[in-house]
Structure 1
Amino acid sequence: MANYDFEVIFVGCGHGCDLAARVLAKAGKRVAAIERDLWMGTCTNYGCNAKILLDGPFELTTAMENYQQLGVFDKVPEVNWEKLMQYKMPYIEAYKPMTKAIMEQSGCTCIQGHGKLKDAHTVMVEDKEYTADYIVLGTGQRDDKLDIPGKEYIHGSREMLSIEHMPARIAFIGAGIISMEFASMAVDLGRQVTVIDHGDHALKAYPKAYVDEVVARMEKKGAQFKYCEDVCAIEKTGTGLLVKTRQGFEVEVDYVLQATGRPVNIENLGLEALGIEASPRGIKVDDHLRTSVKNIFATGDAIDKRIPKLTPTAFFESQYIADVLLGKTTDPICYPVVPNLVFTFPRIAQVGVGLDEARHNDQYRVVDMPYGQAFLFNTHNEADAKMAFIFDKQSDLLVGAAAIGSDAGAWIDVLSLVIFNKMTREQFAHYIYAFPTTTCGPLMMLGQVW
């Protein structure tokens, strides 16, 4: 065996890499991680953690709105964005020194800089070479920016997560998860919100009927949705920014957020010279997460994959790579069902077979459950909360679920376990749940309709 500097080098150190790097280092492997930006990546520093921290007060005010109609609250307080940001900034900033220290404490060598493949076993960082038996690419994704006149006025999610003052008028380009989550907060603050999307409706990956409810709530609060529109220019005016579409729509705003997809960081990585196939969608891998160069793996958001690009899937892939390199498995990667959730108000969650697909396929039986109406005492008076159970007619197993409501995430997590373990109706009937918890209701309802 060649005498390399390390046994494994990780290029990028987000959640697709950091777990594997720490597991391997603790197992006695010589491991290095190369990171050009912030250690532990987007989610920890300028993604999920920051977003859910900012989301918390809005979750509370949404719950209060459900009670206001009963006269329980005379007034729902408005979130003070400036104070919230003063809380968020030092909290998230405190991660920066901790994340690298955690890596080093595990025994991993941390190298700051941009890593580029020189050959199948060599990574260059500036003018220095590092060699390894195996290389793992976890370079993640980044905000995109339209190539249009005025593109210098476009901001990404990373910038908006740190904006000190919420602008009075905001245009959101794209109606996917990032735009809809930010727009939900902005409209709750009373800001003028305009969502512009190329497609014909928002949140295409989620059940349309549930999405329509979220959109209707936002429109009731003043949000404007413009579909089948393509932003073609942004012009500076004396009073703001004029956003124009190719179809003729115009709106003046103070801030523009683009969230139309996140391309993978593959530039200047040295992939072409090694014949590793990649595109803005990601790096091509086989069922063992190996690229066409068999000792080079890819992981996390850097992969071109159909599985949702989420923090939990990145962790799952990271653990899998560690198991492969420790000799614990030679099996192809096998993903479990992946629950996913959009943090709008209310939340929309789903897992397994999609609800819209199931409604148009005779293979499935769909049971719609007006959960909020049946369990008002358990949904904090959220009468519109609802869920759907999707059963395979032949096996009579639960194969999918969807939900809309403030607690949809907790519901879908529990239902994911039922689906993943392929529990039968008889097995499910033998469980007892704490009552009246957030999760007991959906499980009780499932037992009644199975």
Structure 2
Amino acid sequence: MKSYDYIILGTGPAGYKLAQLLAKTGKSLLAVEGGLFGGTCPNVGCEPKIFLSGAVHTALASQQLVGRGIAQPAQVDWDQLMTVKKARFDSWPAETKAIYEKMCDVAVGYGEFVDAHTIQVNGHQYHGTHIIIATGHRPHRLEIPGKEYLHDSTDVLSLSHRPDHAVFIGGGYVAIELATFLAAAGTKVDLLIRSDRILRGFYGKYAQEMVDQLTARGLTFHFQTTASAVAKTGERVTITTNHGEQLTADYVVDASGRVPNVEKLKLTAAGIKYSRRGIDVDDHLQTSVAGVYAIGDITSQPVPKLTTVAELEADYLYRQLVRGDQEPLRYPTIGTAAFAFPEIAQAGVNPEEAADDSRYQVVEHDLSFGSFYAGLNEQEAKLTVVYDRDQRLVGASEIGATAADDINNLVPVIGLQPSSREWQRKVLPAYPALADEVFGLLKR
């Protein structure tokens, strides 16, 4: 049995970042991957998603400018867009695997624990002084009759031909983003939402405004509705809802959430504690077993499951394991976004949570009167900011075509807490853009 200083299970953003750092130490390192090398983000997640959104956002922005300087709106050609997307992304898993093979040893297959420090891959066993679990999340699959006729987000991101009618089951950011993309290309879209709102975790007021805008573009929302069964009807698929209603479509997407990849790990063999939320870790990212750690989406930490968070944890664990840093992990201000059209983005304290809390003051700004937003015909662009008792900016949420970029301008402001005097002395952003208005948002 071969022994390693470090074994990393999973090659997504968390594992990749950590492997790059550890490979430079001269210590022995084994990377284990049973799926796509590179994980979800670069293959079937954020990278191809943002690639598709470039064309979709451009087309939708042009459509809202008809009569305001644009004579002919752009149209999304889904089949052509997907052909270009595949030409760019299909080679990435093999390319990532080649990068790993230059950095360290590689075992292709799913790793499973034999004991606390022994991993088995395809019948071969490996001992690791330190083992890091970074196997991430995967799409949740509904356990209903006819589930074999459902597709997931991975399928949509490789969908060669646009369906005429698609139904999405779910109201999270994956469902809303992908539904926006297909609808922009001309697909009729219905969404089954099990609760009374979409995008939980984002500002509820802006989530409802997104519903209003998407509805105006032809998407149909069915709230308090779930799928109870799916059946094949000729070449189409019929969904029966909890209300007994039936919807027949060409394509049905199960976007009911994501779940941690724990089943194949055989964690109980090592005594590692976990739950349906993921693997439990302490504030040093160590599991219930000494010398075994978990980073990225696989953990049960109550933080957004984002590539940026995964890479932050990889950096932190490297400093701990190699440099001996023993400070507990403290998460910084984290920016999040749903890349639909319009976008919703936020950072810091959610205005919804602050509204009835005497510690905070919530102020909304209508951005549509600014020349930049008016030039895009962004009639509903809004920014809500949250101040604490010391008049420090501690939260921000925005809805608008450029919400993600705008909120990114405020992430360092919320995180670093500059005074208005410090900002004025040290920063002079480009004008006109939201960044040049930050000074006006600072109250101290």
Using the alignment, how far apart are the partners of 1:386 and 1:339 within structure 2? Answer: 17
Offset, 1:374: 2.7
1:383 Cα offset (Å): 2.9
1:288–1:333 contact (8 Å) kept in structure 2: yes
User: 1:48, 1:165 → 2: CA distance?
Assistant: 21
Q: 1:379 Cα shift?
A: 5.6
Residue by residue over 1:181-217, the C-alpha shift from the partner in whole angstroms, topping out at 9 and shown as x without a partner, is 0111122222211100111111121112211221112
**What corresponds to 1:314 in structure 2?**
310
Q: CA 1:150/1:412 → structure 2, altered by over 3 Å: closer, same or farther? A: same
Q: 1:46 to 1:239 in 2, by over 3 A?
A: closer
Residue 48 of structure 1 is matched in structure 2 by 46
| CA distance 1:437–1:101, change in 2 (3 Å) | farther
Shift of 1:143: 1.3
Whether the 8 Å contact between 2:368 and 2:382 is mirrored in structure 1 is yes
1:71-220 superposed matches below 5 A: 72-105=69-102, 107-220=103-216
**Map of 2:399 onto structure 1:** 404
Q: Say which of 213, 217, 223 aligns to 1:227.
A: 223
CA distance in 2, matches of 1:437, 1:111: 51
Residues 1:301 and 2:284 aligned together: no
Distance in 2 (alpha carbons) for counterparts of 1:117 and 1:208: 42
Q: How does 1:349-360 map to 2 (within 5 A)?
A: 349-360=345-356
CA contact (8 A) 1:376 1:383 kept: no
Match of 2:410 in 1: 415
Give, in whole Å, the separation in 2 of the partners of 1:379 and 1:84. Answer: 27
Number of equivalences:
444
Structure 1 unaligned blocks of 5 or more: none
Q: Given the alignment, which residue of 64, 67, 72 partners 2:65?
A: 67
Contact 2:113–2:265 under 8 Å retained in 1 = yes
Contact 2:277 2:300 in 1 (8 A): yes
SS at 1:129 equivalent: strand
Q: Distance in 1 between matches of 2:352 and 2:337?
A: 16
User: How many angstroms apart in 1 are the aligned matches of 2:155 and 2:303?
Assistant: 27
Aligned to 1:22: 20
State the match for 1:265 in structure 2: 261
Alpha-carbon distance in 2 for matches of 1:165, 1:433: 47
- 1:326 aligned counterpart, secondary structure: helix
Secondary structure of residue in 1 paired with 2:127: strand
- Write the distance in 2 (CA, Å) between the matches of 1:190 and 1:431: 48
* TM-fit CA distance, 1:281: 1.4
Q: 1:377 to 1:413 in 2, by over 3 A?
A: closer
Per-residue deviation, 1:444: 4.3
Task: Show CA shifts across 1:318-365 (max 9, x none).
Answer: 111111110341111111011000001011000010011112212111
Per-residue deviation, 1:437? 4.6
Q: Deviations over 1:38-76 (max 9, x none)?
A: 111000111111111111111111221332142x12221
Q: Deviations over 1:89-116 (max 9, x none)?
A: 02001212321222233x3211111111
Cα distance between partner residues in 1 of 2:207 and 2:270 = 44
Q: Establish whether residue 256 from structure 1 lines up as the match of residue 252 from structure 2.
A: yes
Output the CA distance in 1 between the equivalents of 2:66 and 2:269: 62
C-alpha distance in 2 between matches for 1:88 and 1:196: 28
For 1:335, which of 331, 338, 351 is the aligned residue?
A: 331
Greater shift after overlay, 108-117 or 417-426?
A: 417-426
**Letter in structure 1 aligned against 2:230:** I
1:114-153 deviation per Cα after TM superposition (whole angstroms, max 9, x unaligned): 1111112111011111111100011111112111111110
**How many angstroms apart in 2 are the aligned matches of 1:241 and 1:343?**
28
Deviation at 1:4, TM superposition (A): 6.5
The 3-state SS of whatever aligns with 1:268 is: helix
Which sits farther off after the overlay, 248-257 or 302-311?
Answer: 248-257
Distance 1:357 1:133 in 2: 43
CA distance in 2, matches of 1:113, 1:331: 34
Q: Is this contact kept in 1: 2:114–2:120, CA < 8 A?
A: yes
Determine what percentage of the aligned residue pairs are the same residue.
Answer: 34
| Letter matched to residue 50 of structure 1 | P
Tell me if structure 2 keeps the 8 A contact 1:379–1:438. no
CA RMSD, Structure 1 to Structure 2 (Å)? 1.7
Q: TM-score, normalised by structure 2?
A: 0.96
- Counterpart code for 1:32: L
Structure 1, residues 157-180: CA drift from partner, whole Å, max 9, x if none? 001100001111111000110000
Q: Confirm or deny that 1:324 pairs with 2:323.
A: no
2:323 counterpart SS class = coil
Per the normalisation by structure 1, the TM-score is 0.95
Give 1:27 deviation, angstroms. Answer: 1.6
- Aligned 8 A contact 2:153 2:253 in 1: yes
Alpha-carbon shift at residue 445 of structure 1 (Å): 3.8
Question: In the alignment, residue 112 of structure 2 is paired with which amino acid?
Answer: K
The 2-side partners of 1:417 and 1:437 are apart by 19
In 2: Cα distance, 1:325 partner to 1:126 partner: 28
